[in-house]
Structure 1
C-alpha cells in the first residue's frame, strides 16, 4: 500500500475507508483482488533458492491477506499483524509463541471460555502451568509473578461480566518481571482501545465479530509490537495457521463501515442498558459505560467508547428456578436470536455459563443474560426484552 498517502489521513472513518490498499497497485480498482493461491512461481533457480521475492507460498500471505494486515497495523500501530482462521486461533498464537514446557502463564479469570479450555487442556498437556487471577487485581498481580512466568493474558472487558482491567498497571508489573502481555481486545476494537499504547505486547481480535460485522466470517487477527513480533511470526509460519483470502477480503470490506457501525451499536446499547436499570426483573446491568458499573471510572480513563455487548442479571433469588427463568426469558424473544458470537448486524441473547470461574465469581442475584445489541430499532428491541422479562416473571 502507499503509506505516504494513508498516513496523512487523520479521521478514523477516513482511515477505515482507505487503509490497507493502494488502488494504483492493482490497475485502479478500489478493492484489492481476492488472490487464491498455494503455489507461487519463481523466475529462476537462484531466486527460489534464496526465497528472495515478496510471495513464496500461499501460507505465507497473499496480496489479499496483506491488505487486511496492513489496515489492522495502521489502526493498532503494530509492527506486524497476522491473519488467522478464527478468533480462537488468534488467541492460541501468543501462548504457543511465548511459552515452553516448564513455563508459567497468568490468565484473567473472566476470560473467554474457549481460551480457558485451551489453557486447561492443551497447555497443561505440554507442561505449561496456568494460574487464573482476579480481573480487578491491577498492580496487585505482582505476588502472582514467578521466575518462570513468561506471559500475562488479559481481556477487557471480561467475557459475560465485563470487568475492566487496569491494563497499564498489569503491563508495568509484567514487564518488570520479564514477562510479555497479550490482550483479547475484541470488544473494544482498536477504535475504542489501542492496546499497544497501554503496554500490551500482543493484541488479538476475533475478526469474526465487529471487524467483519455481518455474521458470515470466521477470522482472527494477532498484532504485536517490535519486541513480540519475531516470535509471533515464527510460530505462525511454523504452524501454517493462515486465514483464507475470501474471509480476509470480506473482513476488509466490513472494516470500511466499522466506525459508523460501532457508533450505532454503542448508542443503541447504552440507551437500552440505561432503560433496563431498575426495571422489574432486572437485578443489575453489567455495562462498563454505565455510571453504576463498578469499573466505570477505569473504563472512562482508558477507553474511547463502548460497543453493543453487555449483560443483565435477572432478579431470581430462588437458585432452583434460575435456569427455568433464564430459559423462559430467552424463549419469549422474537427479534433477538439465540446464538453464540456477536458483533454482527443482528441482536442476539444467550444464558451465560459462568461455572468455570475460580476467583471472579458470578453475580449472586440471578442468572446472567448476555445481550448483543444489533442494528435494529431500539424501540423494537426494548419491546422484545420486556416480553422476555414478563415471561421470566410468569415462569
Structure 2
C-alpha cells in the first residue's frame, strides 16, 4: 500500500489505508478488537512471544489499522495513538527529554502543553525556556549545552503565528537537537511535518480526524531515526486508546479530506466577511494576505482549516462580549474544533505569556467554522456584533 500511496491522490488513499477486507472475511472495515489476553499455542511461543499481538497493551488489529494509515499519510516511519491530544503531546515530550535537559517552547503554545511543562516536566528537572514563535533561525542564539528538544506549533494556538519550520528544524538537526511539532490545525493533509524536517509530529485526532465531537484521541508519528525511542516510550506507558475510538477514527479518516476542504472554504469565507465588519479591527487567519506569516503559510502549507481568530476594536469590553456571545443562536461556546458545529470563545493570551507580549489592541475571539450554511452563520455573527455594539454597528 505504501507504494500505491505515493502514486494516488489523498482521497483515494484515505479510502484504502488501514483496512484489508481479505483479512476480515471480505468485510470492508476493520472490526473492533477488544481484549487483554492473547492465547499462545505452545510454551515455546509463550516464552518467546511468538505472536503478532502478545498482549492487549501492545496493540490490536483495530489500533494497528489506524496507526498504519496515519503513518502513510504523515510520511512517518511509525505512529502511536493515545487517548487524548494532550496525552499525545506528553508522550512526545517524554520521548525526547530527560532530567537536566533544556527545552525550547514557543510562547504561543497550546496552554495545556504549557501546564504540562510547568508541572510534570519541571518536577522532573527539565529546564523550560519560552521563545518568540517568529524567531526563525535566530533560535540558535537560545541553544545551551543541554538543549535537547525544540517544540513548535504552527500556527500558534489562538494567536496564529506561523513558524519557519524548515529553518528551525534545519538548525536543530545540525546540532543533534530533536524537534516536535503540534500539527493539529493543519493535519498531515495540509502540512506534512516530517517532510519539513520535524522528528515527531503530534495531532489531536479529537479534531478533524474524528470530525464529529464524539471522541478524544491523540496521534504521535515519528521519522525513522526517532521512531524506535517513541515506540519504546509508548510501550513503557501503555497509553492506549479505546478500541471503539479507533473504529470511529478510522471511519472519520475516510471523509477527512472532504471535511477539511469544506472547512477551508467556509473558514476563509467567514474570515474574509468578518474582516469587513465595522466592529472588527483585524482577522488572524494565515491564509489571508493581511495576516502576519501569510507568506510562510503560502510557501509551506497545502491548505487552511476552519479555525481562526478576530481582534475587536478597542471600544468593546468584557460586558460587550457577554452581550454578544450569551445569545448566539448557531455558534456554541465550547473548546476544541474540527467538528460539524460552529464554535466561538473569547480568549486572552496575555494572562500567561512570558517571552512575548500579547497586546492586540482589543478583545479577541476564536471561531471554529462548522458545516452550517455560511449565510446562516453570517446572520448569527451579525446579530451578535449588533449586540456587541449596542446596535451601533447594525446594517
1:212 maps to 2:210: yes
For 1:265, the equivalent position in structure 2 comes to: 263
Match of 2:62 among 61, 64, 69: 64
The CA deviation at 1:4 is 6.6
Q: Structure 1 residues 356 and 8, CA, compared in 2 at 3 Å: closer, same or farther?
A: closer
Q: Report the Cα distance in structure 1 between the residues aligned to 2:285 and 2:142, rounded to whole angstroms.
A: 28
Partner of 2:274: 276
User: Residues 44-77 of structure 1: CA distance to partner in whole angstroms, max 9, x if unpaired?
Assistant: 1111111121101111110000000111011011
User: Structure 1 residue 327: deviation in Å?
Assistant: 2.0
CA deviations 1:189-228 (Å, max 9, x no partner) are 1000000000000000100000110000001100000111
* Count of matched residue positions in the alignment of Structure 1 and Structure 2: 390
Question: Of residues 388, 391, 394 in structure 1, which corresponds to 2:387?
Answer: 391
- Would you say 1:370 and 2:359 are equivalent positions? no
- Provide the rounded CA distance (Å) in 2 between the counterparts of 1:326 and 1:286: 18
Query: Which residue, 304, 307, 318 being the options, matches 1:323?
Result: 318
Q: Distance in 1 between matches of 2:330 and 2:174?
A: 49
In the alignment, is residue 351 of structure 1 matched against residue 351 of structure 2? no
Asked if the contact 1:273–1:285 (Cα under 8 Å) also holds between the matched residues in 2, the reply is: yes
TM-score by structure 1 length? 0.96
1:360 aligns with 2:339: no
1:336 match: 331
Residues 5 and 151 of structure 1: CA distance in aligned 2, closer, same or farther (over 3 Å) = closer
Indicate whether 1:380 and 2:376 are aligned: yes
In structure 2, distance between residues paired with 1:4 and 1:174: 29
Question: In the TM superposition, what are the counterparts of 1:1-395 in structure 2 within 5 Å?
Answer: 3=1, 6-7=4-5, 10-317=8-315, 322-354=317-349, 355-394=351-390
- Compute the displacement of 1:389 (Å): 1.0
- Which SS does the other structure have where 1:371 is aligned? strand
Distance in 2 between residues matched to 1:323 and 1:150, nearest whole Å = 41
What 5-or-longer segments of structure 2 have no aligned partner? Answer: none
Provide the aligned C-alpha RMSD in A.
Answer: 1.3
How far apart, CA to CA, are the structure 2 residues paired with 1:145 and 1:214? 41
CA drift of 1:392 comes to 1.1
Moved more, 45-54 or 253-262: 45-54
CA contact (8 A) 1:162 1:288 kept: yes
1:311 and 1:364 mapped to 2: Cα distance?
11
Tell me the CA shift for residue 360 of structure 1.
3.3
Instruction: Please state whether the residue corresponding to 2:195 is helix, strand or coil.
Output: helix
1: CA distance between counterparts of 2:327 and 2:362?
A: 18
Indicate conservation of the 8 Å contact 2:211/2:340, yes or no: yes
Aligned partners of 1:216, 1:199: CA distance in 2, in Å?
Answer: 32
Q: Distance in 2 between matches of 1:126 and 1:5?
A: 43
Unaligned runs of 5+ in 1: none
Query: Distance in 1 between the 2:348 and 2:209 partners?
Result: 25
Q: After TM superposition, what 4+ stretches of structure 1 lie above 6 angstroms from structure 2? A: none
Cα distance change of structure 1 residues 33 and 177 upon mapping to structure 2, 3 Å threshold: same
- Residues of 1 paired with 2:32 and 2:278: CA distance? 51
Q: Give the conservation status (yes or no) of the 8 Å contact 1:6–1:19.
A: no
Partner deviation per Cα, 1:74-121 (whole Å, 9 max, x = no partner) = 101111000110000100112111111111100111111100000011
Separation in 2, partners of 1:214, 1:292: 31
Matches of 1:84 and 1:4 in 2, distance apart?
24
Q: Residues 4 and 178 (structure 1 numbering): CA distance in 2 closer, same or farther, change over 3 Å?
A: closer
Deviation of 1:253 after TM superposition, in Å, equals 0.3
- Aligned partners of 1:277, 1:13: CA distance in 2, in Å? 32
1:6, CA displacement in angstroms? 4.2
1 CA distance for matches of 2:23 and 2:43?
27
- CA distance in 1 between counterparts of 2:359 and 2:341 reads 27
Deviation at 1:183, TM superposition (A): 0.5
